[in-house]
Amino acid sequence: SMVTEAVLIGDRRKFLSALITVDPDVAKQLDSGKAAHESDAVRKHLQTVIDDVNTQVAKVETIKRFTVLPRQLTIEDGELTPTLKVKRNKVNEHFADAIEAMYAD
């Protein structure tokens, strides 16, 4: 699968969104010319995956927007625990601008 992490955002928000990290090797197969977070082909592929997921959940649980992050989440940056669980507070802090952009309008 292309997705390595998907962090859902939605606490006290109008809708759910997601921060997504992708496997760069898989992304390169779709678009060798661009970094995954800048690629339209990668975005389109992820949108079809999300559309599919959205058909399996209640309307309030659907993901309305997503952002492809420019790098993987890491233990070193405090975003993952040693057992590779996501530390939401750190992710929210480190990617606050990306999160706000999804809720900008």
pLDDT in tens, 39-89: 999 999 999 999 999 999 999 999 999 999 999 999 999 999 999 999 999
- The β-bridge relationship of strands 3-9 and 16-22 is antiparallel
- Range of 20's domain? 3-102
Domain containing 87 — which CATH number?
3.30.300
What local confidence, expressed as pLDDT, does residue 103 receive?
A: 97
Sheet holding 63-68, edge to edge: 3-9, 16-22, 63-68
pLDDT > 90? residue 1: no
- As for how many domains the chain has, the answer is 1
Across all residues in the chain, what is the average pLDDT? 96
